[in-house]
């Protein structure tokens, strides 16, 4: 009953956990003082109303850009702007941000693009950068208000997106709350009126939540610890009352083997804690735990008892009521070592793989196919090898993907069939009755990659 009056987080668990955890990483990378969270007074967020006033020419934008670079710096790289007209962008300077002159007509979108472009070049190097990480660093360094004035750019690939205005708003609330917490104040930020309605609501809602709950992962106290959490601290966090804290702890556990000066693997107590979180009431925690267990599972020879428990836990998680958790459990199984040695659980593994290949959700089918490639054929009773049990089910999934024109899923099933069956084309000719479908399956199984659908011809006289 009293839970009805508990403060409600302003974001979904996955979003909240990512923001709080990654802000801690940013603070460790740049230092609290650089984020304006140290003992010495520091500048807050740069206000667009002051920095962008009268942006009507390239010279105005150049001055704005200089202020943005100054706020985001110092950095090893100092980016520049490369102005162009129409499609005539000819600059080859990797540190130059191409800007069409027509962009001046939309200052909010231009300002957000300049912040993202400058932050990427100054702090993320030449490699591919997570757009969300770019946005979060820019927000932490004082340019987050610009990002809230425009919609996030369209994702270049599935899962590759920038932060939404609500997510940036919560990050701004966290930063302001930590600054106020350190100073013993509780006033609202002076730049709140600069934001769009959705971002402003996220800031006010976030501050209300943080002041009432007081248990965010990113706090003034957490800034005093410059190192990632220890394995013992991670295990303790797995039982925190807030789902966002538990989810962040699962991510921490998954990265334990990556730390320097550590021997490979994690303690069995950590794995047992993750097995418990497979039954967490929060779906995001269950899904993350399943994938973490697959990554952290020890070799069968190193710790057979723990290896058995992890496999059985993941098999059980494939029965979860949510498809996202089932897919994560199958991905965990696919990542687990020595899967072919699970003789006692082979019937169960076959069952969950076949059920996954017949699932309605593409992510579940693809994850089940990945497990299928890890399981060797079982010896028949009369000697020799039993017929591969998964190839017909993968072929059926391939046919379904081709009917739906889902080339990405179809390509995955083609690769799986080639790994499972010595002659996928013969299997298709045996089992696919429809001539047209058979032709499409055989084309997909050929050496040539799946052809992208040709665009429809544009009608004569269409507008340019």
Supply the pLDDT for residue 222: 85
Supply the pLDDT for residue 295: 94
Question: What is the C-alpha to C-alpha distance for residues 293 and 301, in angstroms, rounded to an integer?
Answer: 17
Tell which residue, 175, 106, 179, has the closest CA to residue 146: 106
Tally of CB atoms within 10 A around 149:
18
pTM: 0.88
Tally of CB atoms within 10 A around 373:
18
The per-type count for the chain, helices as H runs and strands as E runs, is 20, 2
Supply the pLDDT for residue 116: 95
Tell which residue, 346, 354, 377, 364, has the closest CA to residue 412: 364
Supply the pLDDT for residue 383: 52
Supply the pLDDT for residue 259: 64
Listed as ranges, residues in the chain with pLDDT below 70 are 1-5, 39-43, 88-92, 127, 155-159, 182-185, 259-265, 378-388, 447-464
Supply the pLDDT for residue 303: 92
Predicted confidence (pLDDT) per residue in 248-265, tens digit: 999 999 999 876 444 456
- Concatenating the DSSP letter of every residue in 342-360 gives --TTHHHHHHHHHHHHT-S
Predicted confidence (pLDDT) per residue in 288-318, tens digit: 999 999 999 999 999 999 999 999 999 999 9
Tell which residue, 23, 25, 17, has the closest CA to residue 249: 17
Supply the pLDDT for residue 458: 37
Is the CB of residue 112 less than 8 Å from the CB of residue 149?
yes
Supply the pLDDT for residue 261: 43
Q: Which domains does the chain have, with CATH numbers?
A: 2-223 (no CATH), 228-257+266-355 (1.25.10.10), 387-449 (no CATH)
Is the CB of residue 255 less than 8 Å from the CB of residue 234?
no
Supply the pLDDT for residue 262: 46
């Amino acid at each position: 009953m009293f839970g009805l009056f508990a403060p409600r987080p302003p974001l979904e668990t996955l979003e909240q956990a990512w923001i709080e955890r990654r802000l801690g990483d940013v603070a460790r990378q740049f230092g609290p003082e650089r984020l304006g969270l140290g003992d010495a007074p520091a500048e807050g967020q740069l206000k667009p109303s002051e920095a962008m006033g009268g942006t009507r020419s390239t010279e105005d934008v150049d001055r704005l850009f200089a202020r943005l670079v100054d706020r985001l710096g110092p950095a090893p790289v100092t980016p520049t702007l490369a102005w162009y007209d129409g499609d005539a962008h000819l600059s080859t300077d990797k540190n130059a941000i191409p800007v069409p002159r027509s962009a001046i007509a939309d200052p909010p979108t231009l300002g957000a693009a300049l912040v993202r472009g400058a932050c990427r070049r100054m702090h993320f190097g030449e490699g591919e950068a997570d757009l969300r990480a770019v946005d979060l660093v820019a927000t932490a360094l004082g340019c987050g208000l610009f990002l809230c004035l425009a919609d996030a750019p369209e994702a270049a690939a599935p899962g590759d997106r920038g932060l939404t205005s609500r997510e940036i708003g919560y990050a701004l609330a966290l930063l302001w709350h930590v600054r106020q917490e350190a100073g013993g104040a509780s006033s609202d930020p002076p730049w709140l009126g600069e934001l769009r309605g959705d971002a402003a609501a996220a800031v006010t809602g976030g501050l209300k939540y943080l002041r009432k709950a007081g248990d965010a992962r990113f706090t003034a106290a957490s800034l005093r610890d410059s190192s990632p959490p220890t394995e013992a601290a991670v295990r303790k966090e797995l039982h925190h009352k807030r789902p966002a804290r538990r989810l962040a702890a699962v991510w921490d556990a998954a990265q334990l083997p990556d730390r320097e000066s550590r021997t490979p693997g994690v303690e069995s107590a950590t794995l047992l804690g993750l097995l418990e979180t497979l039954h967490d009431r929060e779906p995001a925690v269950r899904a993350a735990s399943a994938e973490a267990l697959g990554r952290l599972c020890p070799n069968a020879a190193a710790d057979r008892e723990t290896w058995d428990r992890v496999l059985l836990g993941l098999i059980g998680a494939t029965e979860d009521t949510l498809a996202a958790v089932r897919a994560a459990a199958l991905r965990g199984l696919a990542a687990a070592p020595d899967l072919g040695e699970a003789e006692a659980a082979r019937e169960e593994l076959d069952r969950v793989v076949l059920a996954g290949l017949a699932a309605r959700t593409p992510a579940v089918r693809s994850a089940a196919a990945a497990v299928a490639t890890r399981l060797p054929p079982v010896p028949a009773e009369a000697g020799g090898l039993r017929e591969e049990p998964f190839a017909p089910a993968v072929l059926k999934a391939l046919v379904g993907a081709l009917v739906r024109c889902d080339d990405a899923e179809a390509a995955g099933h083609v690769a799986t069939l080639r790994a499972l069956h010595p002659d996928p084309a013969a299997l298709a000719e045996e089992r696919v009755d429809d001539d047209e479908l058979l032709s499409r399956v055989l084309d997909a199984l050929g050496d040539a990659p799946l052809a992208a659908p040709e665009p429809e011809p544009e009608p004569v006289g269409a507008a340019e």
